[in-house]
Amino acid sequence: MTFIGEIAALFTSFCWTMSAVGFSNATRQFGSQVTNRLRVVLAMLALILINAVLYAKPIPFDAGLSRWGWLTISGIIGLAMGDAFLFSCYRHVGPRIGLLLLSLAPIFGAISAWLMFGETLTIMQILGIAVTLGGISWVVFARGEGSNESDHDWRKGLLLGVLAAFCQATGLVLSKQGMAGDFPPFAGTLIRMTAAILSNGRTAGAFGMAGGSPGLPGINRVERADGSVVTLGHIGSVEVGPGDVFVIETPGGGGYGAVSEDDRGLARQ
């Protein structure tokens, strides 16, 4: 079908615009980590159902190690990190400026593709980047005097928006490598969502319900042979030597229902 890619891109932009307001309100009420985690969990469940119906494979375990590797890294950077930055940006400057800054993603994507895979741009594409940068700069620097955001929130929101665009772009460039060939897009997105859920479990615990306490986040650490301990974030790298032990503590589940004093007493016994 002619222009199928362009039509899909326009529909994606429409969906992003419609969801931005809801995500902005949810972020202000529940925080960016909870909003992001709930979003990817619901999306993952929907994608499992879609893959089961369309391809009779709820989870594409036969995708191959290389494809899983590219899409996993893409999901961690683009979804876990990128969306966390984006939702925090919504909280500080609102969805209008947040989505505007997200339009930097194609620019970062073009630069990333050039640096990592040698892809080049035409003169018209470079001109489009210049026009986009000019429009974003005009809106950002023409901030109205009646704005409700403080200067600190404004600067922090702009930085978070730029980081979100960079992570989104890098994640999409990496996902292109994992989607090579005729691999189904729903299956590829499911792999990215799975990686985002697993990496998010290292930054914040699962939220509780009905008064229940949140669960503990997972911890990655290296216990050195000399007794020292190196704690890693949800994304990181470390050199290990002979006798070092890499420890992974998986995240705990959130609680359901408030704990009474009687329950606390029984637990202490």
Q: How many domains does the chain have?
A: 2
Task: Tell whether 111 and 229 lie within a shared domain.
Answer: no
Q: Which residue type, as a one-letter code, is found at position 27?
A: T
Q: pLDDT grade, residue 269 (50/70/90)? A: low
Q: What is the DSSP string of 77-97?
A: IIIIIHHHHHHHHHHHHHHHH
Model pTM greater than 0.75? no
Nearest-angstrom CA–CA distance, 61 and 47: 14
Q: Which residue has the higher pLDDT, 46 or 139?
A: 46
Tell whether 233 is covered by a domain. yes
Note the residue count of the chain. Answer: 269
Check if the beta carbon of residue 187 is closer than 8 Å to that of residue 75: no
Strand partners, 44: none
| Strand ranges of the sheet holding 219-223, from the earlier edge strand across to the other edge | 229-232, 219-223, 245-249
The model's pLDDT over 218-252, given as tens digits with 9 standing for 90+, comes to 777 888 888 888 887 655 566 777 888 888 777 77
Task: Tell whether 154 and 232 lie within a shared domain.
Answer: no
Cα four-point dihedral sign 106, 84, 36, 184: positive
* Encoded tokens for 102: 């997200």
Q: Which residue has the higher pLDDT, 31 or 81?
A: 81
Task: Tell whether 48 and 140 lie within a shared domain.
Answer: yes
Burial class (CB in 10 A: 0-12, 13-18, 19+), 182: exposed
The model's pLDDT over 101-134, given as tens digits with 9 standing for 90+, comes to 887 887 888 888 887 777 777 788 778 778 877 8
Task: Tell whether 192 and 226 lie within a shared domain.
Answer: no
Of 33, 9, 13, the C-alpha closest to 23 is 33
Tell whether 30 is covered by a domain. yes
Q: Give the range of the structural domain holding residue 250, as residue numbers without chain letter.
A: 219-268
Check if the beta carbon of residue 43 is closer than 8 Å to that of residue 210: no
Packing angle, helices 123-141 and 105-117, rounded to 10: 140
CB atoms within 10 A of CB 229: 10
Nearest-angstrom CA–CA distance, 230 and 215: 23
